[in-house]
Structure 1
């Protein structure tokens, strides 16, 4: 099994969205140079080359983010730093590995927010999996969006439901970690050479969120469920001596073996 961490777009934002401490208030991009500073909010996908097929975890942000996110207003709060016709998005990261979306057998979505499920429609040949509670909650939204769920990203997909903690293929499993949304999941990889890796997605945004004690964020559906999920991940990480890779941590990103220059096995 070989694992590639893919760059899928770096957003910029007021980090108060991700970490509720310091007394900051959320700013849009017109005010990002005011005393409250903005910071990078990177996204990533994980490509697993497995004997049973290629599994992709999450899809990052779309190239047409400015117009696609306009109905939500989030283009003002999470503008993407990469030029829309340049590298740094999911399709270009796959191409750097000489792959196309047709080469993916299974796509697993940690949840259905606009910066994780936005490119899911690129994979018409793949099975697309998500948590059952996430699917039910996201499909029940009235109108075009609610919070960071944008229905056009996922409403026409043939989503297959996962329940609880589940194995996708040997050595690759999901951990049910609700709280951020109804059915947010984290990814567990048990690797022969590099040990256990846990990719938290938005169950834990940043190393500063992890604690202990865990520190909450602005975009959380159920704060108690979120805290219980963080402690569940902490217990699993301690039991397996896992490296924990957070959903949007710019500093941690600099330490990762990003594709195409490195991988885990």
Structure 2
């Protein structure tokens, strides 16, 4: 099993460059599992987005010899625009999404989820809705972590050499939030967020996690291996 970390670009917050990550997990039996697809480079949802030519999911996949048609699953942490901009590319994949988040998105009640609806709400995309924690394949677990938004999910990956890794997604933007267990201004449900952080901390101990990758941490980002390097 291998874990690649993709750089999809940055959001400029005053003078701080906030990373926008994605992930590819390759299993030993040849499954390619993508976690989030990033923001749409040619249709940015904000004027403060910074991206180079190679900072798209398609270019990141190509750099390790893959095409969108090679992806078997897309794990959708949630449908904020910086996480779902290229959903339309993966017509061969099964999308894994929490039922309550999919229902919220389809309802049209959340304006953030409407931003890129034209890319995620398409008839050729195959969504598999799940409820709660879910083992996708051996060693890859989807973890229900609401708070940033209803139905958000994180990912636990068990690698053969490094050991267990938690991909928090936006359940935890930065390490300081993880330590303080506090919500930020973009989180919809503060108490749910705190509960989800505590859940992730419990999983960290239970599974002897050796790496927690936070959702948008500019301090952690330079210290992570980026594709084409990988964790194993």
For normalisation by structure 2, the TM-score amounts to 0.93
Unaligned 5+ segments in structure 2 are none
**Distance change >3 Å, CA 256–CA 117, structure 1 → 2:** same
- Higher Cα Rg, which structure: 1
Look up the SS of the partner of 1:186 in the other structure: strand
Equivalent pair of 1:52/1:169 in contact (CA under 8 Å): no
Report 1:95-110 matches (<5 A).
95-110=62-77
Corresponding position of 2:201: 234
Look up the SS of the partner of 1:180 in the other structure: coil
CA distance, structure 1, for counterparts of residue 119 and residue 111 of structure 2:
12
Pick aligned residue for 1:42 from 13, 19, 33 = 19
Equivalent pair of 1:62/1:119 in contact (CA under 8 Å): yes
CA distance, structure 2, for counterparts of residue 147 and residue 114 of structure 1:
7
Equivalent pair of 2:182/2:190 in contact (CA under 8 Å): no
Deviation at 1:152, TM superposition (A): 1.9
**Distance change >3 Å, CA 113–CA 149, structure 1 → 2:** farther
| 1:160 correspondence with 2:104 | no
Corresponding position of 1:253: 221
CA distances 1:136-189 after superposition (whole Å, capped 9, x unpaired): 0010015xx603542223222332101110011110111000011111000100
Unaligned 5+ segments in structure 1 are 14-36, 70-74
Deviation at 1:52, TM superposition (A): 5.0
| 1:205 correspondence with 2:144 | no
Deviation at 1:89, TM superposition (A): 1.9
For normalisation by structure 1, the TM-score amounts to 0.82
Pick aligned residue for 1:63 from 8, 20, 41 = 41
| 1:80 correspondence with 2:49 | yes
CA distance, structure 1, for counterparts of residue 218 and residue 203 of structure 2:
24
Look up the SS of the partner of 1:152 in the other structure: helix
Equivalent pair of 1:114/1:153 in contact (CA under 8 Å): no
Look up the SS of the partner of 1:97 in the other structure: coil
Task: State how many pairs are aligned.
Answer: 227
Report 1:54-203 matches (<5 A).
54-66=32-44, 69=45, 75-76=46-47, 79-83=48-52, 86-141=53-108, 146-147=111-112, 149-150=114-115, 151-156=117-122, 157-203=125-171
| Bigger Cα displacement from structure 2, 196-205 vs 217-226 | 217-226
CA distance, structure 2, for counterparts of residue 202 and residue 153 of structure 1:
20
CA distances 1:16-65 after superposition (whole Å, capped 9, x unpaired): xxxxxxxxxxxxxxxxxxxxx43111111111111151111111111123
